[in-house]
Structure 1
Amino acid sequence: MPDELDLLRATNPVPADGPHFGDGPLHHDAERRLNQLLHGRGLLGRRRRRLRWAWSLATVAAVAVTMTALLLAGPNTVPAVAAPRPLLVQAGSTPVPLARMVEIADAAAADGSPKLRKGTHVQTWSMGMSEDKPPITLPVERVVRWRADASHTELVVATDPRHPGRPVLSEGGDGMVEDGHVISEQTFGPSWSDAPPESPPPYDPGRLKAYLQEAQHQPTPLTTPELLDAVAVLLNHWTLGAREDAAVARLLADAEGLRPVGRVTDRLGRPGQAYVYDGRGSRLMVIMDPATGTVLGLENTATVAEPQWGLKKGDVMDYSAWMR
Structure 2
Amino acid sequence: MADELELLRRADPVPADGSHFGDGPLDHRAERHLDQLLHKSPPPRPAWPRVLRLRPPLGPSRGHRARLVWGLVAAVVVLTVTLTLVVSGPGAPPAVAAPRPLVVQADSTPVPLTLLADRAETAAADGSPSLSKGTHVQSWSMGMSEDKPPITLPEERIVRWRSDASHTELVVATDPRHPGRPVLSDAGDSPHLVEDGHVISRQTYPPSWSDAPPESPPPHEVAQLRAYLQEAAYLHTKPSTPELLEAVGVLLDHWTLGARESATLARLLADTEGLRPVGRVTDRLGRRGQAYVSAGDGPRHMLIMDPDTGTVLGLEQTATVAEPEYGLEVGDVMDYSAWMR
TM-score range, shorter chain: 0.7 to 0.9
Note the 1:3-14 alignment, pairs <5 A.
none
Matched, 1:271 2:288: yes
- 1:186 aligned residue: 203
* CA distance in structure 2 between the aligned counterparts of 1:77 and 1:132, rounded to whole angstroms: 12
Partner of 2:329: 312
Aligned partners of 1:218, 1:107: CA distance in 2, in Å?
A: 32
C-alpha distance 242-126 of structure 1, shift in aligned 2 (>3 A): same
Q: Secondary structure at the match of 2:145?
A: coil
CA distance in 2, matches of 1:122, 1:297: 9
TM-score w.r.t. the length of structure 2 is: 0.71
Please list the CA deviations of residues 67-112 of structure 1 after superposition, one character each: whole Å capped at 9, or x if unmatched.
xxxxxxx979995632100000011100000011001110111111
* Alignment match, 1:64: none
CA separation of 1:80 and 1:110: change in aligned 2, threshold 3 A = farther
Change (3 A) 1:235 1:174: closer
Counterpart in the other structure of 1:303: 320
Q: Distance in 2 between matches of 1:177 and 1:75?
A: 15
> Post-superposition shift, 1:174?
4.0
Alignment counterpart, residue 261 of structure 2, candidates 239, 244, 262 = 244
Unaligned runs of 5+ in 1: 1-73
Structure 2 residue 109 is the aligned partner of structure 1 residue 115 = no
2:302 to 270, 274, 285: 285
Higher relative contact order (CA 8 A, sep 6+): 1
Distance 1:272 1:203 in 2: 24
TM value normalised by structure 1? 0.75
Contact 2:109-2:279 at 8 Å conserved across structures: yes
- 1:257 pairs with one of 274, 280, 298: 274
Task: Kindly provide the CA deviation profile for residues 155-196 of structure 1, in whole angstroms up to 9, marking residues without a partner as x.
Answer: 000000111100001217642000000000001111111100
Q: Does 1:125 align with 2:132?
A: no
Look at both structures and tell me which one has the larger radius of gyration over its CA atoms: 2
CA offset at residue 220 of structure 1?
1.7
Tell whether the 8 Å contact from 2:133 to 2:161 is kept in structure 1 after alignment. Answer: yes
Measure the CA separation in 2 of the matches of 1:178 and 1:75.
Answer: 17
Determine whether 1:219 maps to 2:236.
yes
Asked if the contact 1:126–1:317 (Cα under 8 Å) also holds between the matched residues in 2, the reply is yes
Kindly provide the amino acid, as one letter, of the partner of residue 206 in structure 1: A
User: Residue 150 of structure 2 is aligned with which of 119, 125, 135?
Assistant: 135
Q: Percent identical across equivalent pairs?
A: 76
1:157 to 156, 172, 179: 172
Does structure 1 retain, via aligned residues, the 8 Å contact 2:292–2:302?
Answer: yes
**Does residue 232 of the first structure (1) align with residue 249 of the second (2)?**
yes
Does the CA contact (< 8 Å) of 2:143 and 2:152 recur in 1?
Answer: yes
AA in 2 matched with 1:316 = V
- Which aligned segments of 4 or more residues in structure 1 are displaced greater than 6 angstroms? 74-78
User: Unpaired runs of 5+ in structure 2?
Assistant: 1-88
SS at match of 1:134: strand
For residues 66-85 of structure 1, the aligned pairs below 5 Å read 79=94, 81-85=96-100
Alignment check: 8 A CA contact 1:95 1:260 kept: yes
- DSSP-derived class of the 1:141 partner: strand
Write the mapping of 1:173-212 to structure 2, written as runs, cut at 5 A.
174-212=191-229
Query: What is the distance in 2 between the residues matched to 1:230 and 1:87?
Result: 21
1:303 is paired with a residue whose SS is coil
Q: 1:94 aligns with which of 109, 122, 134?
A: 109
When residues 145 and 159 of structure 1 are mapped into structure 2, their CA distance, relative to the original with a 3 A threshold, is same
Partners of 1:79 and 1:173 within 8 A in 2: no
Equivalences, count? 251
Give me the whole-angstrom Cα distance separating, in 2, the residues matched to 1:169 and 1:217. 32
The offset of 1:316, in angstroms, is 0.1
| Alignment RMSD | 1.8
CA distance in 1, matches of 2:93, 2:178: 13
Establish whether residue 169 from structure 1 lines up as the match of residue 184 from structure 2: yes
